[in-house]
C-alpha cells in the first residue's frame, strides 16, 4: 500500500540513496505542480518527503511546503557524502563507497555517538566483490563494537545496517513503487529518483520491450499513477526475497534492473552485503544479550550469504 510521496523539489535535489544525482542544472518544481503534488498526497493520505537542493528556495515556496505534514530530506535529515565528525543531526544519511566504508570504519563508528540514527548507503554496491567479504565483516564489527559500548552506557544508538535487523520481524525494504512513489519537478511520477535521473540522462530503458527509449515515468499528476504490472515490484512476486530473512535489506529495484535486468530479482552483490550485515547483527545480538540488554527475537545461524545458492532448500 502506498504510504509515502517523495517530492524532488529541484533537479539538483540531494541524492540520498544508492544512485548519484548526475543532474547539475537547476530545474525548480513550479508552484503549480507543487500544489497539485500536495493535493495528490492529501487525497491519497500519503506522508510527504521533500527532497531539497543545496540552494535556498524562493520565499513563496515555504508556505506551501509547510501546509502539510512532511519530512525534509537534505534539511531535517542531513545527507553526508563523506565521513564527518561534526554531525549533530538526529538522523543522518551517510552515502559512501564500499572502499571508504572499509578504510574509514573507525571514523564512521565515531559518528554513531553524534547522531541518534545513522543510515549508511553504499553508492557503489554493484562493485562489491567477494574478495572484500572479510574486510566488510571487519568494518561491520568495528561499528558493532561502538553500538555495544554506546548501548552499555544507555545511548540507544541506531545504524540501519546493524540495528534495524534486531527489531524487524518481517521484510522492511525500500518499497519504491510499492509503499512510496517519487514525483519529479516535471510533474511526472517515477518509481524512485534514480529512474528519473536515468530518463534525464537518456539511459536506454532496457525493460521497455516496445521501443528503444529512456522513458521511465509511471504516470503524472494529471492522469494519476500508472505502474505497469505493479505486482512485479512486490515481495510475494520475488522468489528469492520472500524466503529471505535479511529483513533490513533495501531490495533496491533500481540496482536490480541495472544488474539483473529485472526489477524484482536481486544481484549477488546486494544479497551478500545484506547477509554480512544480517550476520553481524546476529553477533551484536548475542553480545547485547550477554550484558543483559534487549536485542529482539533470536536471529538464527545460517550457512549461506546468497539465497540464490541454496534456493533448492526452500
Ligand atoms: S538479501 Fe537478497 S534475497 Fe534477501 S531481501 Fe535482500 S535482495 Fe532479497
pLDDT one-digit tens code per residue, 272-310: 999 999 999 999 999 999 999 989 999 999 999 999 988
Taking the C-alpha atoms of residue 134 and residue 137, their distance in angstroms, rounded to an integer, is: 5
Burial (Cβ within 10 Å: 0-12, 13-18, ≥19) of residue 235 = middle
Burial (Cβ within 10 Å: 0-12, 13-18, ≥19) of residue 300 = exposed
Burial 17-27 (b: 16+ CB within 10 A, else e): bbbebebeeeb
Closest CA to 29 of 2, 6, 4: 6
The rounded radius of gyration (Å) of the Cα atoms in the chain is: 20
pLDDT at 91: 92
Expressed in angstroms and rounded, the spacing between residue 54 Cα and the centre of ligand 1 is 33
Taking the C-alpha atoms of residue 86 and residue 96, their distance in angstroms, rounded to an integer, is: 17
**Shortest-distance Cα residue to atom 1 of ligand 1:** 271
Where in the chain are the domains? 4-167
Number of the ligand 1 atom closest to the C-alpha atom of 307: 3
Expressed in angstroms and rounded, the spacing between residue 286 Cα and the centre of ligand 1 is 23
For the record, the C-alpha cell of 277 comes out as: 550485515
pLDDT at 87: 65
Beta strands 78-80 and 70-73, pairing class: unpaired
Expressed in angstroms and rounded, the spacing between residue 126 Cα and the centre of ligand 1 is 14
Residue 98 has a CB neighbour count (10 Å cut-off) of: 21
Taking the C-alpha atoms of residue 260 and residue 180, their distance in angstroms, rounded to an integer, is: 22
Pocket test for ligand 1, best of 164, 178, 235, 240 (most atoms within 8 A of CB): 240
Q: Which residues of the chain have pLDDT under 70?
A: 85, 87, 89, 208-210, 314
Pocket test for ligand 1, best of 243, 249, 253 (most atoms within 8 A of CB): 249
The pTM score is: 0.94
Q: Which residues contact 310 (CB under 8 A, 6 or more apart)?
A: 304
Q: SS3 of 233, please?
A: helix
Taking the C-alpha atoms of residue 178 and residue 21, their distance in angstroms, rounded to an integer, is: 22
Burial (Cβ within 10 Å: 0-12, 13-18, ≥19) of residue 150 = middle
Whether 269 contacts 125, CB under 8 Å: yes
Whether 190 contacts 14, CB under 8 Å: no
Pocket test for ligand 1, best of 128, 257, 274 (most atoms within 8 A of CB): 274
pLDDT at 86: 72
Whether 118 contacts 78, CB under 8 Å: no
Number of the ligand 1 atom closest to the C-alpha atom of 273: 1
Residues lining ligand 1, Cβ inside 6 A? 240-241, 244, 246, 249, 251, 266, 270-271, 274-275, 307
**Shortest-distance Cα residue to atom 5 of ligand 1:** 241
Taking the C-alpha atoms of residue 305 and residue 292, their distance in angstroms, rounded to an integer, is: 29
pLDDT at 112: 94
Amino acid at each position: 500500500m502506498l504510504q509515502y510521496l517523495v517530492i524532488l523539489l529541484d533537479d539538483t535535489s540531494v541524492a540520498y540513496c544508492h544512485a548519484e544525482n548526475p543532474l547539475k542544472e537547476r530545474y525548480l518544481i513550479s508552484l503549480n505542480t507543487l500544489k497539485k503534488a500536495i493535493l495528490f498526497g492529501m487525497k491519497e493520505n500519503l506522508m510527504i518527503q521533500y527532497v531539497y537542493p543545496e540552494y535556498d528556495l524562493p520565499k513563496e515556496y515555504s508556505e506551501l511546503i509547510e501546509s502539510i505534514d512532511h519530512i525534509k530530506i537534505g534539511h531535517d535529515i542531513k545527507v553526508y557524502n563523506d565521513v564527518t565528525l561534526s554531525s549533530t543531526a538526529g538522523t543522518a544519511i551517510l552515502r559512501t563507497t564500499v572502499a571508504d566504508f572499509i578504510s574509514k570504519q573507525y571514523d564512521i563508528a565515531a559518528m554513531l555517538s553524534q547522531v541518534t540514527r545513522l543510515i549508511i548507503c553504499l553508492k557503489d554496491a554493484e562493485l562489491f566483490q567477494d574478495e572484500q567479504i572479510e574486510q566488510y565483516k571487519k568494518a561491520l564489527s568495528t561499528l558493532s563494537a561502538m553500538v555495544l559500548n554506546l548501548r552499555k552506557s544507555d545511548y540507544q544508538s541506531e545504524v540501519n545496517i546493524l540495528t534495524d535487523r534486531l527489531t524487524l520481524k518481517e521484510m522492511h525494504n525500500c518499497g519504491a513503487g510499492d509503499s512510496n512513489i517519487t514525483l519529479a519537478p516535471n510533474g511526472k511520477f517515477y518509481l524512485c529518483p534514480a529512474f528519473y535521473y536515468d530518463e534525464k540522462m537518456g539511459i536506454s530503458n532496457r525493460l521497455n520491450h516496445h521501443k528503444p527509449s529512456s522513458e521511465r515515468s509511471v504516470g503524472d499528476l494529471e492522469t494519476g499513477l500508472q505502474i505497469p504490472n505493479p505486482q512485479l515490484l512486490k515481495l510475494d512476486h520475488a522468489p528469492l526475497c520472500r524466503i529471505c530473512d535479511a529483513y533490513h535489506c533495501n531490495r533496491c529495484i533500481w540496482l536490480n534492473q541495472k544488474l539483473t535486468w529485472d526489477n524484482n530479482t536481486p544481484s549477488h552483490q546486494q544479497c551478500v552485503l545484506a547477509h554480512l550485515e544480517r550476520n553481524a547483527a546476529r553477533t551484536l545480538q548475542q553480545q547485547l544479550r550477554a550484558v543483559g540488554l534487549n536485542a529482539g527475537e533470536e536471529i538464527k545461524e545460517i550457512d549461506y550469504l546468497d539465497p540464490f545458492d541454496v534456493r533448492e532448500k526452500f
